Amino acid sequence: GAGVSQSPSNKVTEKGKDVELRCDPISGHTALYWYRQRLGQGLEFLIYFQGNSAPDKSGLPSDRFSAERTGESVSTLTIQRTQQEDSAVYLCASSLGFGDIQYFGPGTRLTVT
């Protein structure tokens, strides 16, 4: 079946602009996660959703970052007033439910110039 998809695959934006990154989880997966991976580093947890609710927003780096999920499906990660330090690969994952294996998408490579 279809895996987790993310769009766009690459995004180049100017400093100060807003960006939206999209994640389509595997159908039927109730949990969805966002991670960030800077060049040469491990993954950094940002936020997760159980259904449409986000019980843990502790990983969001600043108030410029926000995320939402609708219909227990698609999620959007929004970064306002992008900064150069926001440049990274943003990865989305989904899992069937609580504590299950996470399946990752291919990521969106964000470059802020």
Partner 1 sequence: DAKTTQPNSMESNEEEPVHLPCNHSTISGTDYIHWYRQLPSQGPEYVIHGLTSNVNNRMASLAIAEDRKSSTLILHRATLRDAAVYYCILRANFGNEKLTFGTGTRLTIIP
Q: Which stretch binds partner 1 (CB under 8 A): 14-22, 65-73, 75-83, 92-100?
A: 92-100
Q: Look-up: residue for tokens 């996470």?
A: 102
**What is the pairing mode between strands 53-56 and 75-79?**
unpaired
Is 47:57 a contact under the CB 8 Å cutoff?
Answer: yes
C-beta closer to partner 1: residue 11 or 80: 11
Give the shortest CB-94-to-partner 1 separation in angstroms.
11
Binding-site size for partner 1 (CB under 8 A) equals 25
End-to-end, the C-alpha distance of the chain in Å comes to 37
Among residues 100, 79, 101, the alpha carbon closest in space to that of 90 is found at 79
Task: Give the number of C-alpha atoms closer than 13 A to the C-alpha of residue 15, restricted to the C-beta side.
Answer: 4
Give the shortest CB-91-to-partner 1 separation in angstroms.
5
State the sign of the Cα–Cα–Cα–Cα dihedral 11, 84, 90, 65: negative
For residue 77, state whether it binds partner 1 (rule: CB under 8 A): no
For residue 65, state whether it binds partner 1 (rule: CB under 8 A): no
Q: Which stretch binds partner 1 (CB under 8 A): 10-18, 28-36, 68-76, 77-85?
A: 28-36
Contacts with partner 1 by CB under 8 A lie at 4, 31, 33, 35, 41-45, 48, 50, 55-56, 59, 91, 93, 98-99, 101-107
